[in-house]
Amino acid sequence: MTTHDEQPVLKVEHLYKSFDERPVLVDVSLALHKGENLVILGRSGMGKSVLIKCIIGLIEPDEGTIYILGKNTTHLDHKALNEVRQKIGFSFQGSALYDSMTVRENLTFSLKRNLNIHDPQQLDAMVRDALRDVGLEHAIDQMPSELSGGMRKRIGIARCLILKPEIMLYDEPTAGLDPVTSSEINQLILEVKQKYHTSSIIITHDITCAKTTADRIIYMQDGRVYLEGTFEALDRKDDPQLETFFNYFKIQHQ
Amino acid sequence: MRVAHVYQFILRIFKETFSSPFETEETLNQCYLQGNRTLLLIGFTSFLAGIVFTRQSRPSLIEFGAESWLPSLVSIAIVRGLGPLITALICSGKLGSSMGAELSSMKVTEQIDAMEASGTNPFKYLVVTRVIATTVMVPVLVIYADAVALMGSYVAVHYYSQTTFKLFFTQAFQALSFLDIFSSIIKPVFFGFAIGVVSTYAGYNAPRATVGVGKSANRSVVISMVCVFIIDFLAVQIFGSLRP
Amino acid sequence: MKREEVRRNTRLGIFVITGILLFLFAIFYVGSEQSLFNANFPLRANFVDVNGLQKGNNVWLSGVKVGTVREVNIIDNSMVQIEMRIDQKLRQFIKEDALASISSEGFVGNTIVVIEPGSSPQAVADNAIIRTGQQTSTQDMMNALQTTAENITNITHELRQIMQEAGKEGTLGSLLTDTTLGPEIKLTIDNIQTTGRRSAVLTSDVIQMLTQLKNNESGVVNTLLTDTSFSRTYEETLANIKTAGEQAAAASAELTALVEKIDNQKNAMGVVLNDTAFANNIQKTADQLSEGVAKFNENMEAAQHNFLLRRYFKKKKRQEEKENN
């Protein structure tokens, strides 16, 4: 298990956010430690996505502070915020590949702009490395529209990895995928952690995914952190809400 | 569209246009795409418009016994009004809808968020490049539209009265002043800018739903066209007051 | 991929550069039309009335465009100074005693400055102020025609009155005693005769011209606007009309004076009635005059229906109505 004595790489304190008077996040606090896979579990519409979008700065929280790698990011200007963002990889639910570009261009897009690398050979090598890590080297010159959902997801992850992030945020990595592909993605998440030494937050409602990838789980409900602990610890808890989730998992694995 | 929001949007475009890093490659790419998308259509429509306008003006001029004024009349009409207007309307339709739809679908599928999250500036890459491209390309396209419309008009004039090209050309240009030529290039700069700003605004600020795509494409076209007419109206006032 | 990009950017470059070249070409062409880029020299002329001349109007020498008007300034109460830019190469053809006048390009064209070259051996200097003359304008022609027509109508009317009175009254003997009056009347009648004939010729000229103008399928307006020889004929016709008009006006004035005299001294009538040849003469003149007037009316009618002059007549009519009210 992870060592907890270090400074957490990411810390969220008392985060509030509401849309049109409807509270989505209510006093959320959490910490992500180095080298840890933190799964945030919960039903749809419980503010999980809003939470990680607040972390990356796509949504501005109403209240609360977020520390990323020791820096308070809630009041950073655009430029400083972008510097922080370059250390975070964000895998979107719908992969969000740039439609108009080939896979190669998708991957080099941020490389060229953030790291200012323009040497074609160096770019090519980096793209191939990243694609090899997700097992899709052959798709290098394909357009995103030619790829399947699982492949797009992998490319989306590769696009983050190529920037060598310290923190990975996965938004519903297995949503809309068949079980086989899902478990492949779960394995990929673990491999990424191994190879790139990233700390990750994984947002999911998929209990299998949580079980496979999690070092620690936070169960969110109604915009609050409801329960926290390892998979086993939560499994032992006697909570009707949690029960439903875990039963579903058990049915699958009988 | 809220005025303050639009104002900030435009302000941001200016700010980011002149601050590094510059998206030169993508700007050129957008210029190429926009020119490529519209050139043929603009050429075709302005050629026809040249013919139609000439044919329709001819009877009235004949009634006044001034058929020889046809080239001058047509060249003034084309350079001052028709060429820029046709170009701007085609661009609003073709470029406006594609920009609105493209940006809003990128918004819906979180591609804009993905750019933002990866630490690059999507505004610069998506909005600024497109606005620069329309602002640059619409005037260039207008020059072509004018040239092609004059060709069309020559074809029509020649069909009736066997005027030589040289005479047509001399008469057409005799009627034009510097102001006409300059107005035909300055006006489209504003047309292009308006089309770019309206369409990218509609796309970039689209609601996050699939209906948003259609809506913002539609909005881009309609509002761009209205803007084009408003600018044209203002330009007539301004250039009219400059004329002796 | 890279090569594709280069190819596209090249195409884009060619596209934009061609556009810019077209634009520059248009600028250059319009500029050269306004003689901005050619070597040119300034020339000035003072006019009392420039008839709506504007900056940018053309300057013609012997019917060829040689430059443009650059400035039109009112320099004092009754003087307008214009500055022209003339093609440097053509300086040798414009002499010191060149004559500038305001005219128009054909019937309905722009106002222009026409320079007549002059005959002095010395070419003009920069900024020289050249002599000016007044050229006949359409307006002048119409005024002259109008006056002539009115006068002729008056004459015929009064002549008819004389004839009638001569037939009725018998105080002819007294006229015989007045010998000085006879030749005077004769001279006047001769004058009238000449004028009558002239206006008949003139009228047919104008009718012919207007008919040609109306049947413009043959491109007469075109010719009128572009053909310099025709426009010269046209100028001459205008001048003719003017002379004729002036003469007729003079003659009719004389006649009016005479008729007044006759009214005062009714005895003068005897001369008229005694001399049958002379009476015939008057009769003939009157006939000619009325024929002339009829043709003239016809001519005016035609003119009124011609679009070119329609506005003039409308304006005239409005003015009259205004005066009547």
User: What are the chain B neighbours of C54 within 8 Å (beta carbons)?
Assistant: 244
- C positions 174-193 inside 8 Å of B (CB): none
Residue C56 sits at the chain B interface (C-beta within 8 Å): yes
In-domain check, residue A81: yes
CA dihedral C315, C318, C323, C325 (to 10 degrees): -170
CA distances C38 to B159, B171, B177, C32, C60, Å, are 35, 19, 16, 7, 16
A73 located within any domain: yes
A63-68 and C40-47 strand pairing:
unpaired
pLDDT in tens, C202-249: 666 666 666 655 555 444 455 454 555 555 555 666 666 667 667 766
What are the residues facing A31 on neighbouring strands? A11
| pLDDT, mean of residues B54-81 | 86
The pLDDT value given to residue B177 = 83
Asked if the Cβ–Cβ distance from C23 to B181 is below 8 Å, we say yes
The residue among C14, A126, C5, C16 whose CA lies nearest residue B25 is: C5
| Range 139-158 of C in CB contact (< 8 A) with B | none
CA dihedral B206, B207, B209, B212 (to 10 degrees): -50
Contact call for B117 and A100, based on CB within 8 A: no
Q: What is the predicted pLDDT for the residue at C325?
A: 66
Q: B119 CB near a chain A CB, below 8 Å?
A: yes
User: Does C305 have pLDDT greater than 80?
Assistant: no
Contact indicator for B129, B230 with CB cutoff of 8 Å: no
Asked if B24 is an interface residue toward chain A (Cβ–Cβ < 8 A), one would say no
- Of A182, A163, A177, give the one whose Cα is nearest residue A110: A163
B120: nearest CB among A88, A96, A110: A110
Identify which of C8, C23, C108 has the shortest CB distance to residue B185. C23
**Helix, strand, or coil (residue A119):** coil
Question: How far, in Å, CA of A99 to CA of B102, rounded?
Answer: 10
The model's pLDDT over B152-203, given as tens digits with 9 standing for 90+, comes to 999 998 888 777 888 888 888 888 888 888 888 899 999 999 999 999 999 9
Rounded to an integer, what distance in angstroms lies between the CA atom of residue C279 and that of residue C297? 26
Confirm if C117 and C61 have CB atoms less than 8 A apart. Answer: yes
Annotate C251-275 with b (16+ C-beta within 10 A) or e (fewer): bbebbeebbeebeeeebbbbbbeee
Quote the tokens at residue C38: 């050619």
Nearest Cβ partner for A92 among B102, B110, B119:
B110
Residue C137 Cα, gap to closest chain B Cα (Å): 20
Q: Do C19 and B31 touch (CB under 8 A)?
A: no
* B177 contacts on C by Cβ (under 8 Å): 30, 34, 56
Nearest alpha carbon to residue A163 among A109, A96, A105: A109
CB A10 within 8 A of CB A31: yes
Q: Check whether B41 has a pLDDT greater than 90.
A: yes
Q: Looking at the complex, does the CB of residue B106 fall below 8 Å from at least one CB of chain A?
A: yes
Alpha helices in C169-227 (DSSP H): 173-177, 181-214, 220-226
A221-226 contact pairs (CB < 8 A, 24+): A221/A42, A221/A43, A221/A46, A222/A26, A222/A46, A223/A23, A223/A24, A223/A25, A223/A26, A223/A28, A223/A46, A223/A47, A224/A26, A224/A27, A224/A28, A225/A28, A225/A29, A225/A30, A226/A42
Determine whether the interchain pair C213/B65 forms a contact, defined as Cβ–Cβ distance below 8 Å. Answer: yes
Q: Is the dihedral of CA B153, B155, B158, B159 positive or negative?
A: negative
Asked whether the predicted pLDDT for residue C304 surpasses 60, the reply is no
β-bridge mates for residue A16, sequence order: A63
Q: What is the pLDDT of residues B93-138, one digit of tens each?
A: 999 999 999 999 999 888 998 988 888 888 999 999 999 999 999 9
Whether C186 and C278 have beta carbons less than 8 Å apart is answered as yes
Number of B to C CB contacts under 8 A, please give it.
73
Q: Which of B20, B111, B112, B130 is best to mutate for the A interface (most A CBs within 10 A)? A: B111
What average pLDDT does the structure give for chain C?
Answer: 71
The pLDDT of residue B129: 94
Whether A83 sits inside 8 A of B119 (CB atoms) is: yes
User: Two tokens at C117?
Assistant: 């070259």
Higher pLDDT, C299 or A124: A124
Which of A88, A94, A113 is facing B109, going by the closest CB pair? A94
Is residue B77 predicted with pLDDT exceeding 70?
Answer: yes
**Structure confidence at residue C209 (pLDDT):** 63
Total domains, chain A = 1
Pick C19's closest partner by Cβ from B29, B140, B174: B140
**H or E segment to which residue C9 belongs:** helix C2-33
Cα gap B6→B3, rounded to integer Å: 5
Residue C167 has pLDDT above 80, yes or no: no
CA pair distance C268, C174, nearest whole angstrom: 7
Dist. CA A134–CA A156, nearest whole Å: 10
CATH number at residue A176: 3.40.50.300
Cis peptide before B71 (omega within 30 of 0): no
**Which has the higher per-residue pLDDT, A192 or C239?**
A192
- Amino acid C255: pLDDT: 67
Q: Give the residue, B135 or A119, on which the prediction is more confident.
A: B135
Contact B109 A96 (CB under 8 A): yes
B170 close to A (CB below 8 A) = no
Interface residue C14 vs chain B (CB under 8 A)? no
Whether B15 has its CB under 8 Å from any CB of chain A: the answer is: no
Of the candidate ranges A166-180, B30-44, C280-294, the one whose mean pLDDT is the lowest: C280-294
In one-letter notation, the amino acid at residue A126 is: M
Above 60 in pLDDT, residue C276? no
Closest Cβ opposite residue B177 in set C9, C11, C30: C30
User: Phi and psi (nearest 5°) for A110?
Assistant: -80, -30
**Contact at 8 Å (CB) between B50 and B150?**
yes
Mean pLDDT for C86-109 is 80
CB A172 within 8 A of CB A204: yes
Q: Evaluate whether A72 touches A252 at the Cβ level (below 8 Å).
A: no
Q: Do B68 and C23 touch (CB under 8 A)?
A: no
Burial class of C122 by CB neighbour count within 10 A (0 to 12, 13 to 18, 19+): exposed
Q: What is the mean pLDDT of residues A130-156?
A: 89
DSSP C115-150: EE----SSBPPTT-EEEEEPPP-HHHHHHHHHHHHH
Q: Which residue type, as a one-letter code, is found at position A225?
A: V
Domain assignment present for residue A67? The answer is yes
Q: What percent of chain C has pLDDT over 90?
A: 0
ipTM greater than 0.90: no
Domain residue limits at A89: 10-95+165-252
Residue C173 has what pLDDT? Answer: 44
- Is the pLDDT confidence value at A3 over 60? no
Classify residue A148 as left (phi > 0), alpha (psi -120 to 50) or beta.
Answer: beta
The structural domains of chain B, with segments of one domain joined by +, span: 3-242
- Specify the higher pLDDT residue, B149 or C104: B149
Give the dihedral sign, CA C223/C229/C231/C237. Answer: negative
Give the HSE-up count for residue A94: Cα atoms under 13 Å, Cβ half-sphere.
14
The rounded mean pLDDT for chain A is 85
- With contact defined as 3+ CB pairs under 8 Å, the chains touching B are A, C
**H or E stretch including A151?**
helix A149-161
The pLDDT, as a whole number, for residue B152 is 93
Size of interface A-B (CB pairs under 8 A): 65
CA distance B111 to chain A (A): 5
User: Is the pLDDT reported for residue B57 higher than 80?
Assistant: yes
* Residue C259 pLDDT: 62
Min Cα separation B89/chain A (Å): 26
The answer on pLDDT for B42 being more than 60 is yes
Cβ neighbours for A242, distance < 8 A, ≥ 6 positions apart: A219, A227, A234
CB within 8 Å: B120 and A160? no
Q: What is the pLDDT of residues C20-70, one digit of tens each?
A: 898 888 888 877 766 666 778 888 888 888 877 888 788 888 888 888 888
Q: CB–CB of C221 and B65 under 8 A?
A: yes
Mean pLDDT, residues C90-112: 79
Q: pLDDT by residue (tens digit) across B209-241?
A: 888 888 999 999 999 999 999 999 999 999 888
Neighbours of chain A (3+ CB pairs under 8 A): B
Report residue C51 as tokens: 């008839």
Range with the lowest mean pLDDT among A244-248, B70-74, B211-215, C241-245?
C241-245
Query: CA C200 → CA A24, C151, C288, distances in Å?
Result: 103, 15, 8
Residues of A with CB under 8 A from a CB of B: 53, 56-58, 78, 82-83, 85-86, 88, 90, 92-94, 96-100, 109-110, 113-114, 156, 159-160, 163
Chain B contacts in chain C segment 207-226 (CB below 8 A): 213-214, 216, 219-222, 225-226
Rounded CA Rg of chain B: 20
Percent of chain A with pLDDT over 90: 6
- pLDDT band, residue C278 (cuts 50/70/90): low
Would you say A16 and A26 are in contact if contact means Cβ atoms under 8 Å apart? yes
How far is CA A218 from each of CA A42, A186, A191, A241, rounded to the nearest angstrom?
8, 18, 22, 13
Q: Provide, as residue numbers in chain C, all residues whose Cβ is less than 8 Å from the Cβ of B143.
A: 19-20, 22-23, 26
Distance CA C264, CA B143 (A): 80
**C52 close contact with B: CB closer than 8 A:** no
User: Which residues on chain B are in Cβ contact (under 8 Å) with C15?
Assistant: 35, 39, 140
Pairing mode, if any, of strands A37-41 and A199-204? parallel
Residue A224 pLDDT: 83
Nearest to B67 among C9, C33, C222 (CB): C222
Of B64, B66, B176, the CB nearest to C30: B176
Flag whether residue C29 sits within 8 Å of chain B, measured between CB atoms.
yes
Residue A2 has pLDDT above 50, yes or no: no
Identify all chain A residues contacting B120, using CB atoms and an 8 Å cutoff: 82, 109-110, 113-114
Poorest-pLDDT segment among A159-173, B84-98, C137-151: C137-151
pLDDT score recorded for residue C308: 55
Cα distance between residue A87 and residue B127, in whole Å: 25
Highest mean pLDDT among A74-78, C70-74, C145-149, C313-317: C70-74
A37-64 pLDDT, tens digit per residue, is 899 988 777 778 888 888 888 888 888 8
pLDDT of residue B207: 86
Q: What is the DSSP letter of B92?
A: I
Window from A186-195, B187-196, C167-176, C189-198 with minimum mean pLDDT: C167-176
Instruction: Name the minimum distance, in Å, from the CA of B237 to any CA of chain A.
Output: 42
The DSSP 8-state label assigned to residue C95 in this structure reads B
